Amino acid sequence: MNKEIKIFENTDELSEYLGIFWKEKIDRLEENKYYSIALSGGKTPIKIFDYLSENFRDKIKWNKIKFFWGDERCVSPTDPESNFKLAKDHLFDQIDVNTTNIFRIRGELDPGNEAKEYSKILEINLPLKNGYPKFDFILLGLGEDGHTASIFPNQIELFNSTNYCEVAEHPVTGQKRITITGNIINNAETVMIAAVGENKADKVFEILNNKESANLYPANLVNPKSGNLFWLLDKGSAKNIIVE
């Protein structure tokens, strides 16, 4: 596994890097091939998606991408909490994307059943590698508690589930979520963890410096077996690791 740490001035610079990365990967695709991307939710992707909509609308062949999610809140697709709605409002509605290539997690349905159904969607639409569906690219975030996707520290065992997807529960709100698990995350060709803001600096420091405390954090378990891991940081989240 190859790990790279990139520190950007701000989220726009981070988004520019991501846009160029996706463009270069997609421009190299063979005629009838697609690039599979699992999106994350939360607030960070809003600025990323807005930047990409503004600056890469005509630079990326968006119809060569199959969009999935790493996690979804168990709410309707029109709920402000929905990760699908977030991507639709800030990206899909602004670009030329084929809706048949958007595979949302149906948060409005029974969580247990949808976790099973989405696992089937992954199996049908992605190649298998090491016995698990393989994403070309997974975008993750980092929670202030060290969670990633919707695997929280108090349910860290979900990361090692042999199921492709699990039902999780937000430790504070009790909100049910559906999340991909570590065997999917660590099977991907490329994983990028986008963590910006000073509020992430402590966890970034603990994880990137292999501190004992990091063993409690699901994000610390992200290590693609034969893929590439990128930590995309800004000056705020990197403030404890920047060597002046």
Binding site for ligand 6PG (CB under 6 A): 40-44, 71, 83, 141-143, 147-150
The partner residues of 179 in beta bridges, in order of sequence, read: 71, 166
Closest approach, Cβ 219 to ligand 6PG, in A, equals 9
Q: Which residue is nearest to ligand 6PG (CB)?
A: 141
**In contact, 193 and 148? CB cutoff 8 Å:** yes
Burial category of 27 from C-beta neighbours within 10 Å (exposed 0-12, middle 13-18, buried 19 and up)? exposed
Nearer CB in complex with ligand 6PG: 71/234: 71
Please tell me the distance from the alpha carbon of residue 235 to that of residue 8, in angstroms, as a whole number: 7
Enumerate the H helices of 40-110 as residue ranges.
Answer: 44-55, 83-90
What's the closest the beta carbon of residue 61 comes to ligand 6PG, in angstroms? 26
CB 72 to ligand 6PG: min, Å: 7
Judged by CB, which is closer to ligand 6PG: 64, or 221? 221
Closer to ligand 6PG by Cβ: residue 71 or 114: 71
Task: Give whichever of 64 and 183 is closer to ligand 6PG, judged by the CB atom.
Answer: 183
Q: Which amino acid is it at 74?
A: C
Alpha carbon distance, N-terminus to C-terminus of the chain: 28
Specify the amino acid at residue 70: G
Q: How far is the CB of 199 from ligand 6PG (least distance, A)?
A: 8
By beta-carbon proximity to ligand 6PG, the closer residue of 43 and 57 is 43
For residue 98, what are its two tokens?
């084929």
- Least distance to ligand 6PG from the beta carbon of 44, Å? 3
